[in-house]
């Protein structure tokens, strides 16, 4: 069933986001001749506009027990973190149903262990892929703070606390005064914080992806074609063809790492991995009056704030509306309101809005590996809310599997076959 690894030298990777380019580098290091096909510029998908947090010490899947009861309130609240476009609901329903059903205690622990295996080495993985100079220019290992507003008592021992204890993750609960020492001028509504010192962030997510592209093209023979993959198939000679808007390319191995768009390429092959886009937004506030010492994740209102080279990025919200619906700019504007609520004295020069597509699989885990019955077809996508963090370890696992090496982490939780 497996491709002959010694002869399988030419690899095409579709998608030049954080995941595809990290995979390209890892494959290249194992002796494959790798070409990346990207329809736009490298790092212009979700990998461009995310919150930039590198969450080595966070491994909590997004959907948790009890959250299902909060959904109606979120949907009804114009400032709420979740919205579903009514017209898209019938299409999204099977995915949403699976997503809601994944919010069990057992699944949370299963997903947390699997996410931990991908997240914990993120700083080492990025360093390995982009080198010291780019790492120190682009990343900060300065911790992260989760915040709660309006709570009268510290959030009681939650499932998240249990997961952190189970995984041995270091964190410290802070009262409002300690939070204010870190962030003078923060709203009096903030009642508690949780400091996670092992996390960090990048000051330029796109710069991080560009650094991958440079490594890939500099260190080996890697090339990036600016073409749009339209269709892929396996020929009678067992090689894979990628038909693009500009030509055909043939290789021994094909890696689909096209983020939220991956499902479209796989559907004609009857490969059905439940993938949906959780559309997210950011607003970049330029020349802000505020520079944060570490990024914030507001756990009451579900948005993030990070200081980046370009300004203060406020990001979040989940909108279920598919790949083709135009952005709802009001969702991004909500983030400006949220930022001003959190920092009432915040001023800035101007604001730039962005919408992007988190590639999400309902059990909260990506799909990494070879497709059963399709020798030479590998996938690496579905990293949802933490793909920037998980990219290096996912890429290494993918490359190990493609090269027939013994994987350094257990590949089973990410098996693309788990849904088939």
The residue ranges that bind ligand FAD (CB under 6 A) are: 14-20, 37-40, 44-47, 49-53, 228-229, 257-259, 261, 265, 280, 282, 315, 356-359, 381, 383-389
Taking CA atoms, 312 is separated from 285, 348, 350, 357, in Å, by 5, 9, 11, 21
Closest distance to ligand FAD from the beta carbon of 135 (Å) = 16
Task: Give dist(CA 304, CA 295) in Å, integer.
Answer: 7
Any bridge partners for residue 381, and if so which?
367
Closest distance to ligand FAD from the beta carbon of 21 (Å) = 8
Nearer to ligand FAD, 45 or 288 (CB): 45
Nearer to ligand FAD, 141 or 228 (CB): 228
Q: Which of 307, 356, 312, 360 is nearest to 335 (CA)?
A: 312
Residue indicated by tokens 């690894």:
5
Nearer to ligand FAD, 369 or 384 (CB): 384
Q: Is the dihedral of CA 165, 166, 170, 175 positive or negative?
A: negative
Nearer to ligand FAD, 134 or 278 (CB): 278
Taking CA atoms, 322 is separated from 86, 257, 263, 336, in Å, by 11, 18, 12, 24
Closest distance to ligand FAD from the beta carbon of 259 (Å) = 3
In the β-sheet with 53-54, what is the strand arrangement from edge to edge? 53-54, 200-202, 139-140
Closest distance to ligand FAD from the beta carbon of 129 (Å) = 13
Q: Which of 271, 277, 248 is nearest to 240 (CA)?
A: 248
Task: Give dist(CA 51, CA 304) in Å, integer.
Answer: 7
Nearer to ligand FAD, 64 or 191 (CB): 64
Q: Which two tokens stand for residue 304?
A: 């993030």
Nearer to ligand FAD, 167 or 318 (CB): 318
* CA angle centred on 11, ends 5 and 14, rounded to 5°: 140
Task: Give dist(CA 256, CA 357) in Å, integer.
Answer: 16
Query: Strands (DSSP E) along 75-131, which ranges?
Result: 82-84
What DSSP string describes 19-58? HHHHHHHHHHHTT-EEEEEESS-TT-SHHHHS--EE-TT-
Q: Which two tokens stand for residue 82?
A: 């979740």
Closest distance to ligand FAD from the beta carbon of 188 (Å) = 27
Q: Is 140 helix (H, G, I), strand (E, B) or coil?
A: strand
Closest distance to ligand FAD from the beta carbon of 383 (Å) = 4
Closest distance to ligand FAD from the beta carbon of 70 (Å) = 20
Nearer to ligand FAD, 176 or 193 (CB): 193
Closest distance to ligand FAD from the beta carbon of 410 (Å) = 21
User: Are the beta carbons of 16 and 261 closer than 8 angstroms?
Assistant: no
Nearer to ligand FAD, 176 or 377 (CB): 377
Nearer to ligand FAD, 176 or 242 (CB): 242
Nearer to ligand FAD, 149 or 227 (CB): 227
Q: How many CA atoms lie within 13 A of 51 on its CB side?
A: 28
Closest distance to ligand FAD from the beta carbon of 29 (Å) = 19
Closest distance to ligand FAD from the beta carbon of 261 (Å) = 3
């Amino acid at each position: 069933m497996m491709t002959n690894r010694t002869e399988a030298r030419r690899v095409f990777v579709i998608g030049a986001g954080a995941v595809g380019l990290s995979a390209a580098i890892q494959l290249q290091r194992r002796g494959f001749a790798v070409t990346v096909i990207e329809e736009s510029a490298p790092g212009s998908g979700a990998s461009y506009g995310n919150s930039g947090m590198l969450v080595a010490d966070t491994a909590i899947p997004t959907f948790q027990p009890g959250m299902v009861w909060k959904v109606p309130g979120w949907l009804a609240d114009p400032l709420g973190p979740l919205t579903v476009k009514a017209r898209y609901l019938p299409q999204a329903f099977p995915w949403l149903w699976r997503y809601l059903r994944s919010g069990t205690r057992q699944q949370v622990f299963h997903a947390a262990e699997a996410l931990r295996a991908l997240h914990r080495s993120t700083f080492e993985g990025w360093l390995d892929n982009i080198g010291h100079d780019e790492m120190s220019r682009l990343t900060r290992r300065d911790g992260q703070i989760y915040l709660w507003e309006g709570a009268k008592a510290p959030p009681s021992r939650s499932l998240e606390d249990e997961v952190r204890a189970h995984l041995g993750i270091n964190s410290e609960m802070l009262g409002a005064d300690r939070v204010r020492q870190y962030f003078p001028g923060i709203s009096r509504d903030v009642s508690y914080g949780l400091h996670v010192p092992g996390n960090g962030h990048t000051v330029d997510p796109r710069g991080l992806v560009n650094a991958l592209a440079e490594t890939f093209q500099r260190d080996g023979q890697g090339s990036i074609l600016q073409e749009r993959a339209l269709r892929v198939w396996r020929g009678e000679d067992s090689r894979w063809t990628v038909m693009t808007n500009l030509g055909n390319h043939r290789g021994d191995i094909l890696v689909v790492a096209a983020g939220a768009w991956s499902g479209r390429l796989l559907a004609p092959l009857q490969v059905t991995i439940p993938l949906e886009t959780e559309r997210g937004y950011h607003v970049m506030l330029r020349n802000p009056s505020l520079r944060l010492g570490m990024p914030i994740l507001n756990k009451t209102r579900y948005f993030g704030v990070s200081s980046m080279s370009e300004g203060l990025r406020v990001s979040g919200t989940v909108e279920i509306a598919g790949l083709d619906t135009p952005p709802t700019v009001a969702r991004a504007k909500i983030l400006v309101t949220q930022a001003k609520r959190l920092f009432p004295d915040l001023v800035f020069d101007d604001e730039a809005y962005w919408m992007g597509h988190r590639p999400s699989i309902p059990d909260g885990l990506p799909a990494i590996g070879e497709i059963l019955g399709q020798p030479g077809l590998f996938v690496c996508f579905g990293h949802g809310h933490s793909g920037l963090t998980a990219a290096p370890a996912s890429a290494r696992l993918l490359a190990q599997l493609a090269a027939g090496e013994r994987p350094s982490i257990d590949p089973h939780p990410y098996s693309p076959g788990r849904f088939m």
